[in-house]
Structure 1
Amino acid sequence: MKYTEKMSNKLNELLEKNYDAEKGYKKAAEIVDNAKLKQFFESQAQNRYDFGHELKSEIRNYGETPEKGTSTAADMHRTWMDIKSTFTSNDEEAILNEVQRGEKKAVEEYDEVINDITLPPTTQTLLTKQRESIKSALQSAKNFEVVVS
């Protein structure tokens, strides 16, 4: 079985977004001073790195070619984080708000792909597992917000 071109594009978009999230988390880990928050961001960067490899493997299994690189929108988001951190003295609460915004968007994007009825069961299982991990990270970011505030 092969993915449709539409499905292949959607999976490559998720792959790209995972690259973006990995870089965003790495950048956030560089910015913050709180050791627990830094560890959380580093752990999430590793998760997204792992997600990317899982997605690349899944895409290859169905005869498609995974894309490389990050999206322009995410590059702008990271730039915003750079600018924001310069003016707010590494405001951890602002960074957590951005993380939450990004993770909420990621859950929506995963939901859209998971709900596609043409999705092979193996891919649906993989994406569901990744989405649940993102939801968990979102909740953890919300919990950190209470501690940092």
Structure 2
Amino acid sequence: MKYSEEVANKLNELLEKNYDAEKGYKFAAEKVKNPQLQSFFNERAKERYDFGHELKTEIRNFGEAPEKGSSWTGDAHRAWMNLKTSFSSDKEEAVLEEAIRGEKAAVEEYNEVLKDTSLPPSTGNVLMKQRDAISSSLNKVKAMENWEDNK
């Protein structure tokens, strides 16, 4: 496999995860009643949509085709989240827990791709910017969960 294909495959995996996160955040915004949480989740969905476009540009720069949709694991996770929130007495808490889990996994996935020291600087910069934004979101979600716990 050519180097450009290898990098594009890794970027396509991140792209797929961003599609999943975008859908997951839209779903989360529908599940909660708190307007601040709805706004936060909608902002995260928009952010992940934007990340997807940035990743598509990087993939095309490698001469490869971007993936078109979300993964079956993302679809399964949203189904699980739907089931979990339908049985939970505190929907906000359940949704925040899932958001934390998803953001932690995303940061780890970005870190894994960033271990490739042969990434072009422009690609590395895009990935670091996205990872840092996700990490910042993770901290905000954790703070929201703590606030929910202390209500």
For the aligned pair, the TM-score class normalised by the smaller chain equals: over 0.9
* Alignment correspondent of 1:91: 91
* Alignment correspondent of 1:16: 16
Identity %: 59
Alpha-carbon shift at residue 89 of structure 1 (Å): 4.7
RMSD in angstroms over aligned alpha carbons?
Answer: 1.2
**How many aligned positions are there?**
148
Is 1:108 paired with 2:108?
A: yes
CA distance in 1, matches of 2:117, 2:148: 41
CA distance in 1, matches of 2:60, 2:85: 38
**Gaps (5+ residues) in structure 2?**
none
CA distance in 2, matches of 1:81, 1:56: 28
C-alpha contact 1:20 1:75 (8 A) present in aligned 2: yes
- The alignment partner of 1:105 has SS state of helix
CA distance in 1, matches of 2:36, 2:95: 14
CA distance in 2, matches of 1:13, 1:5: 12
- The alignment partner of 1:4 has SS state of helix
- The alignment partner of 1:92 has SS state of helix
C-alpha contact 2:25 2:42 (8 A) present in aligned 1: yes
Alpha-carbon shift at residue 6 of structure 1 (Å): 1.8
After superposition, residues 106-145 of structure 1 pair within 5 angstroms as: 106-145=106-145
**Gaps (5+ residues) in structure 1?**
none
- The alignment partner of 2:118 has SS state of coil
CA distance in 2, matches of 1:3, 1:44: 32
- The alignment partner of 1:118 has SS state of coil
C-alpha contact 2:85 2:91 (8 A) present in aligned 1: yes
| Higher deviation after alignment, 70-79 or 3-12 | 3-12
C-alpha contact 1:31 1:90 (8 A) present in aligned 2: no
Structure 1 runs (4+) deviating above 6 angstroms are none
Alpha-carbon shift at residue 64 of structure 1 (Å): 1.0
What TM-score does the superposition give when structure 2 sets the normalisation length?
Answer: 0.94
CA distance in 1, matches of 2:136, 2:83: 28
What is the letter of the counterpart of residue 144 of structure 2?
F
Alpha-carbon shift at residue 4 of structure 1 (Å): 2.7
